[in-house]
Structure 1
């Protein structure tokens, strides 16, 4: 029996996993820096560099602040790099921008159909993101997969932050599953390390975010081009699971 055949629940990261990172978040990163720099173009460039993004090409380094940080961490990093705000004020501004950005996001695939397929096979499904919970729910509603989710966790949902294991353990508590029955799917090492620290049965990397096969190979059991490759990986019927 393969490890995939023992999995009953699948927990997904959002940005770079369900959403194409480059198409969805590069424009948002430029706007983040513009807001944090209060319109100062030179400072904006400096903030992007501090966040791990090349201001000219838009390339974001794997596992950098902008690739893997939550809202508070990005705000802290930008304030540390010279943004003329308090961390609290900048966090509030960023959370508002992220929530609105759900309307501009580009999905990796037809997410409603993708989640419907896995749900019909009997899998417990959840999203755990470093974004705020309101943004996750707005994204799920926009792309029509909110009705298939059993669990949603953002950095502000009370389960801790990545790469701590709390979001995975919260998923287990919500579904009645054990960590070894869960697969964690993400595009950067924060996601994979969270899964490993929680004891998930599988950690699965995808290449629709900022990571590469080289950067993700050590912490992943599988490295897929995108989430659509999960469908043939998992059995057509999930193993027996607790009653809802």
Structure 2
């Protein structure tokens, strides 16, 4: 049996994996920098650069703060780079911005159909993101796949933060699966390292976010153009449906 044939659950990252990162998050990054800079455009440019984004091209470097950080980490980074605001205040403002921005996100594919297909094959499905849980659930409702999810975890859900293994282990607890039965799918090394640390059966990288084949190769078993290539890796007959613990 191959590692892929043992998979019964799939845990997806959200941004850059289910959502096209550049189309969904570059405008949000500009806005969060303006918030952190309190309207100072020159400071906002410096904050974007400190976060890993070119303010002119919108390119976000792999595994930088804006590519992989959670709300609090981004707020801390903005303050360290010169924002005059407090970390706690920025965190609240950023969480509000991120939740609001879910309504403008651009999906990689028809997510309702994609998740329905995997659910029909018997896979347990979850989303684990460095965004807040409210934003994840808003995204799932907006794109019509909430009913197929067995598990949702954000940085604020109590499972710890990436690349710690807690979100994967929480998925195991919610579904009754063992780590070796789970595939973790993401666009940056925080996702993949989380999966590896938890003992996930597969780590699968996608190129719809900020990572490249070069930056993601060491920590991934497979590197795909996008999530639509994932079903071809998995058994045609589907994984056995396991009862939740």
Q: TM-score range by the shorter chain?
A: over 0.9
Preserved contact between residue 206 and residue 225 of structure 2 (Cα < 8 Å): yes
For residues 193 and 118 of structure 1, what CA distance do their matches in structure 2 show? 24
In 2, Cα distance between the equivalents of 1:73 and 1:103?
23
Aligned to 1:42: 42
Q: How does 1:24-173 map to 2 (within 5 A)?
A: 24-173=24-173
Per the TM alignment, residue 242 of structure 1 is displaced from its structure 2 partner at its CA by: 2.4
Superposed CA deviations along residues 61-80 of structure 1, whole A, max 9, x for unmatched, are: 00000000000000000011
What CA deviation, in whole Å up to 9, does each residue of 1:155-200 have, x standing for no partner?
A: 0000000000000000000000000000000000000000000000
Q: Any residues of structure 2 matched to 1:171-190 within 5 Å, and which?
A: 171-190=171-190
1:238 is aligned to 2:235 = no
4+ residue segments displaced more than 6 Å? none
User: What is the TM-score when the length of structure 2 is the normalising length?
Assistant: 0.98
Contact 2:121 2:239 in 1 (8 A): no
Q: 1: distance between equivalents of 2:168 and 2:237?
A: 22
Q: Which moved more, 1:77-86 or 1:199-208?
A: 77-86
Residue 203 of structure 1: SS of its match in structure 2? strand
Distance, in Å, in 2 between the alignment partners of 1:241 and 1:103 is: 32
Secondary structure, aligned partner of 1:85? coil
- State whether residues 20 and 209 of structure 2, in contact with CA within 8 Å, keep that contact through their aligned partners in structure 1: yes
Cα displacement (A) at 1:84: 1.3
Offset of residue 236 of structure 1: 2.8
- Aligned residues between the structures: 244
Contact 2:33-2:47 within 8 A present in 1 as well: yes
> Over aligned residue pairs, what C-alpha RMSD do you find?
0.7
Contact 1:122/1:237 (8 A) holds in 2: no
Structure 2 unaligned runs (5+)? none
TM-score (normalised: structure 1)? 0.99
Partner Cα separation in structure 2 for residue 143 and residue 233 of structure 1: 24
Tell me, in whole angstroms, the C-alpha distance in 2 between the residues paired with 1:237 and 1:139.
Answer: 29
Counterpart for residue 200 of structure 1: 200
